[in-house]
Amino acid sequence: MAVTSLAINERRPYADGMPFGDVGEFKQIDGVVNFAVDPSAIPNSKITDLTLAPKNPAGEVEFSSEFRIFKTQIDRMKGSHKLFFDVVNRGRPLSLMRINSAVDSDPRGPGQWLSDEAGIH
């Protein structure tokens, strides 16, 4: 699988710039990453109906996914140096909401987890 392009759509302070312990404020970066895969490649053979999807001139199937990155706003050395990611299924990111105890009405809110851990750990 190859990444063909990446677009950042928005950069903003996470949780309205609320500081998290010694780590401080976080920045939220939202965007879209585009991919292309070879439907005849053996690793892709388990993807249901991939061979039936439309192909680009190179014979690859193109698709995209939204992404969201949280990073320390001021001093990246104060962060945990770990990556947390959510493999989004059907366009609904859920991981941050579930581990964060955020309310369903505001799944992007800071909830409890970030406050307790003073940053994404």
pTM beyond 0.75, yes or no: no
- Token pair of 88 as six digits: 């989004």
pLDDT at 77 exceeding the cut of 80:
no
Structural domain including 33 reads 2-117
Interval 50-64 mean pLDDT: 96
Can you tell me the distance from the alpha carbon of 95 to that of 106, in angstroms, rounded to the nearest whole number? 13
pLDDT at 118 exceeding the cut of 50:
no
Closest CA to 88 of 17, 15, 6, 30: 30
Interval 26-30 mean pLDDT: 86
Query: How many CB atoms lie under 10 A from the CB of residue 100?
Result: 20
The DSSP element (H or E) to which 65 belongs, if any, is strand 61-72
Q: Residues 60, 37: contact at Cβ < 8 Å?
A: yes
Domains identified in the chain, total number: 1
